[in-house]
Amino acid sequence: MFITLEGGEGAGKSTQIRRLAAHLAARGRPVLLTREPGGSAGAEATRALLLSRPWDAKAEMLLHFAARREHVARSIRPALAAGAVVLCDRFADSTLAYQVAGQGGDRALWDGLVQLSLDGVWPDRTLLLDIPPETGLARAHTRGEVNRYESLGLGFHSRVRQCFLDQAAAEPGRFRVIDAGQGPEAVFAAMLAALPPELGA
């Protein structure tokens, strides 16, 4: 079972995904908790490159997918094969939202890279933690240092949010949209209710 969390900045994904991992582990499920960009040694090194400086738009998309392929090959696929539940903080939907909708990148390139680099590994369920960018960015800024993407403007983050919502509307079988503006307890309860029934969480 491959579960991803998606959403804009300051939606609380990282905190909630840790809590979800602990919840499933306490119920005896083997869990791999991982993130993108990153999640394996090479992909974490690529994350540092991606966050440290601006890139040519196509180079940036290729770097995200290079990191993703490495992550899938070395961490996600082996964990799935071993029967673990894989919980991943961001995946390919983030590249569509940030690099294509946000930065004006090439949608056909995204489609092609999904086909070329993932060997069919794709989330079974995606929980979209949705929050207005004004609220999310304010939370991210109070949290401390902001990364290169967080410092982009409200127009960028509004396009990112709309893209995630459009993806959710286009794939209602895979996505569940959760209002991340609620308190953390309500968000977590909504996440549990949105998991596939096989997880019995």
Q: Which parts of this chain interact with ligand TMP (CB under 6 A)? A: 35-37, 64, 89-90, 94-95, 98-99, 147, 149-150
Instruction: State which residue, 37 or 123, has the beta carbon closest to ligand TMP.
Output: 37
Q: How far is the CB of 141 from ligand TMP (least distance, A)?
A: 13
Q: Minimal distance in Å, beta carbon 138 to ligand TMP?
A: 15
Closest distance between ligand TMP and the C-beta of residue 96, in Å?
8
- Nearer Cβ to ligand TMP (14/198): 14
Q: Which of 79, 163 has the CB closer to ligand TMP? A: 163
Least Å distance between CB 200 and ligand TMP?
Answer: 28
Q: Which is nearer to ligand TMP, 116 or 193 (CB)?
A: 116
Task: Residue 14: count other Cβ atoms within 10 Å of its Cβ.
Answer: 13
CB of 28 to ligand TMP, least distance (A): 28
When the beta carbons of 68 and 125 are compared against ligand TMP, the nearer one is 68
Judged by beta carbon, residue 30 or residue 52, the one nearer ligand TMP is 52
For 40, other C-beta atoms within 10 Å of its C-beta total 18
Q: How far is the CB of 177 from ligand TMP (least distance, A)?
A: 18
d(CA 131, CA 5): 13
Sign of CA dihedral 30, 96, 47, 12: negative
